[in-house]
Amino acid sequence: MEKRIKTLYIVTIIAIIAFLGMQMYWLYGRYEFSLKEYDRNLSERITACVDDYNAIRAKRPDKSADSLKQKGNNAEVFSVPTFSLKQEYGDTVKTTRTSKIYTYLFSAHELLGLEPGTPLSEGQKQRAMDLAQVQMATPVDSMVFDASGARDESQAWLATSNVQIERKCPFAVEGIDSILHKSGIKARIRLIEADSMVWNTTVTDHISVFSPALTMTIPYSELQGKTVCITSQINPFDVLPEMWQALIITLLASCMLIVCLVLQFSTVLKLSRLDRMRNSFVTTMIHELKRPISTLKMCVSGLENPRMMEDRDVKKELLSETRNALDNLSAYFSKLRDITFNNVEQIPLNIQCVNLHELFETVASATVLPPGKTVRISNNIDKSVEVSADRSHLYNILNNLVENAVKYSGDSVEIKADAIENNGNVELHISDTGNGISSGDLKHIFQRFYRGKASAGEQPGMGLGLAYVKLLVDAHGGSISAGSDEGKGTSFTIRLPQ
């Protein structure tokens, strides 16, 4: 049975560890999924911030036009972006795209016949541009890029526009940082100029699970190889709220399973303990009943012997032994009866005035001393101390404590009894110099069927003695406490209303 319980104990622990491991693995996967979702949302927010900043830059005035305006009086700077597409056919189709940005300088007011300084509308500017098409032979500035790496014509056209925006208003760390900060994104920003054109945005998801960060490299001028690298640190506590439902369900399921496994194992232990107690109870009861029954058999055999009956002293001794054996049987069954009561109110009490000094003397004289052991019992109770109690029950209380002191001790033991009167109560102290009780057993000694580890295998018993003592003390409206120093002795304090 013990081997099976140990096996079940090991299997239970392994099952709990395995379940927790599976739950942790599942939660880790769920956390990774939530973290990727958070990365995706964050990358979309960062991309939107960069697009907003580019839109703001596109609306700002052309800073590079100031130096060109100085060359003409009332001339305006006009940039004309174009790109050409060329395809060559052979074994494969080769597409070549060329992006061009030409900058021209002319006076729109002169072309339109307007007074210098008159504000121009967008329509007037476009009309002036159309009129100037004829005379725009040589641009004052030109930029030509090979845009063959573009995905399609729209991407090549957008890249050409981005070059214009970068020339008008260069990309600045302070500008994008302000946009990100307004969106609640904290990030480290670096501007990078590559040796080649960069067409696509690259996203590096979190590498560390416990300190995740998202890194994005976004081109803002593809044809010039200019990119911005934005690294945003991710707080794991911002991700966990997104998986709170999974956390709660997992926590509840884990707690329920662990509690069920623990309760199951605890129930098995209790059943095993009850089985051991049952076997111990039957064995001890047989042992306890065997002694008075053997005495009665011997006395009955003597009573049947006519010669022994002729001797008055022998007859008297046989009758006395028979009476003592019957008293022991009666006391034993009374003890079993009292210990089975559900509450102390069910125990019948015959309250009378009891002299504690005389009662302890009776207990001391009736104590059976084992051969080879030195037992010294000191009655230090004042002869005037009396208490209202059931004499037979109080006798059983003291008798149990003295018997335990004799039983659980070495070759010699000293037992002392003291009593004091305190505020209408009597405090009775029974102390011994026996083996003592360990601190782990001390808090359980008044429980039914509990036997300390140090005494369980040395002396026969059912673990009912001290439980019976406490039951009787409670029935009198008193209390009992114990103190012990393992290896040096034990003391019991009984408080009874006087």
pLDDT digits (tens, 9 = 90+) for 271-283: 777 676 666 666 6
Residue 385 near residue 361, CB atoms below 8 Å? no
Mean pLDDT of 409-436: 89
Strand 141-146 relative to strand 188-193, pairing:
unpaired
Answer with the one of 219, 236, 253 that is the final residue of a domain. 236
Residues 230 and 374 in one domain: no
pLDDT of the residue at 49: 92
Range of the domain at 478: 344-497
Residues 231 and 348 grouped into a single domain: no
Task: State how beta strands 213-221 and 226-233 pair.
Answer: antiparallel
Higher pLDDT among residues 288 and 39, named by residue: 39
Torsion, Cα 196 202 205 207, to 10 degrees, reads -10
**C-alpha dihedral (117, 123, 128, 130), degrees to nearest 10:** 170
Please check whether residues 360 and 228 belong to one and the same domain: no
* Both tokens assigned to 353: 């005035």
Mean pLDDT, residues 395-414:
87
Rounded CA separation 295/307 (Å): 19
pLDDT of residue 2 exceeding 80, the answer is: no
Asked if the structure places residue 319 within a domain, the reply is no
Residue 306 lies in a domain: no
The pTM of the whole model exceeds 0.85: no
- The answer, yes or no, to whether residue 418 has pLDDT greater than 90, is yes
**Gap between the Cα atoms of 463 and 24, Å rounded:** 45
| pLDDT (0 to 100) of residue 167 | 82
Average pLDDT rounded to a whole number, residues 402-424 = 88
Section 179-188 average pLDDT: 90
Other C-beta atoms closer than 10 Å to the C-beta of 78 total 19
The answer, yes or no, to whether residue 196 has pLDDT greater than 60, is yes
Between CA 465 and CA 486 the distance in angstroms is 20
Q: What is the pLDDT of residue 189?
A: 92
Residue 196 in any domain: the answer is: yes
For residue 100, give the 3-state DSSP assignment: strand
Point out the least confidently predicted range of 79-83, 265-269, 415-419, 479-483. 79-83
- In this predicted structure, the answer to whether residue 358 has a pLDDT above a threshold of 80 is yes
Whether the predicted pLDDT of 329 surpasses 70: yes
What is the per-residue pLDDT for 493? 92
pLDDT of residue 414: 92
Per-residue pLDDT, 280: 62
- 108 Cβ contact partners less than 8 Å away, ≥ 6 residues apart: 76, 114, 120, 124, 125, 128, 129, 132
Report the pLDDT value the prediction gives residue 190, as an integer from 0 to 100: 92
Which of 87-91, 103-107, 120-124, 407-411 tops mean pLDDT?
A: 407-411
What pLDDT band is residue 263 in, cutting at 50, 70 and 90?
Answer: confident
8 A C-beta contact, residue 372 and residue 411: yes
435-469 core/surface letters (b: 16 or more CB in 10 A; e: else): bbbeeebbeebbeebbbbebbeeeeebbbbbbbbb
Residue 429 has pLDDT above 90, yes or no: yes
Residues 372 and 225 in one domain: no
Q: What is the pLDDT of residues 57-114, one digit of tens each?
A: 888 766 555 555 545 445 666 666 665 656 555 566 667 778 777 777 777 777 777 8
Question: Which has the minimum average pLDDT: 13-27, 157-171, 446-460?
Answer: 446-460
Higher pLDDT, 71 or 494: 494
In this structure, is residue 30 part of a structural domain?
no
Question: pLDDT band for position 390 (50/70/90)?
Answer: confident
Domain count, the chain: 2
End-of-domain residue from the set 210, 236, 262: 236
Q: What average pLDDT does range 380-402 have in this prediction?
A: 88
Asked if 281 and 451 count as a contact pair (C-beta separation under 8 A), the reply is no
Cβ neighbours of residue 81 closer than 8 Å, sequence gap 6 or more: 99, 100, 101, 157, 160, 161, 163, 164
Residue 376 in any domain: the answer is yes
Say whether both 220 and 351 belong to one domain: no
* DSSP class of 243: G
Residue 149 lies in a domain: yes
Instruction: Examine the domain organization and report whether 77 and 193 are in the same domain.
Output: yes
Distance CA 467, CA 475 (A): 12
For 211-245, b/e burial (b = at least 16 CB within 10 A) is: ebbbbbbbbbbbbbebbbbbebebeeeebeebbee
| CB-CB contact of 140 with 103 (8 Å) | yes
Please check the confidence at residue 376 and state whether its pLDDT lies above 70.
yes
Residue 374: strand pairing partners: 412
Tell me, yes or no, whether 314 lies in a domain.
no
* Mean per-residue pLDDT of the chain: 79
Q: How confident is the model at residue 315 (pLDDT cuts 50, 70, 90)?
A: confident
* Overall average pLDDT of the 375-396 stretch: 89
Tens-place pLDDT, residues 19-29: 778 878 877 77
Q: Kindly state the average pLDDT of the residues 145-154.
A: 82
Residue 116, pLDDT > 80, answer no
* pLDDT tens figures, 212-247: 888 999 999 888 889 999 998 888 777 766 666 777
Average pLDDT over residues 186-190: 91
Q: Are 183 and 192 in contact (CB under 8 A)?
A: no
Residue 384 lies in a domain: yes
CATH code of 431's domain? 3.30.565.10
Q: 223 with 371, same domain?
A: no
Gap between the Cα atoms of 404 and 491, Å rounded: 11
Specify the amino acid at residue 65. Answer: A
User: CA nearest 438: which of 471, 396, 487, 370?
Assistant: 487
Give the span between the Cα atoms of 126 and 112, in whole angstroms: 11
Q: Which whole-number Å values give the CA distances from 197 to 150, 219, 452, in the listed order?
A: 10, 9, 84
Residue 61 and residue 193 share a domain: yes
Of 189, 271, 173, 259, nearest to 231 by C-alpha is: 189
Give tens-digit pLDDT for 287-301. Answer: 667 777 877 787 777
Predicted confidence (pLDDT) at residue 330 exceeds the cutoff of 60? yes
Which of these three, 236, 268, 283, is where a domain ends? 236
Across 30-49, average pLDDT: 86
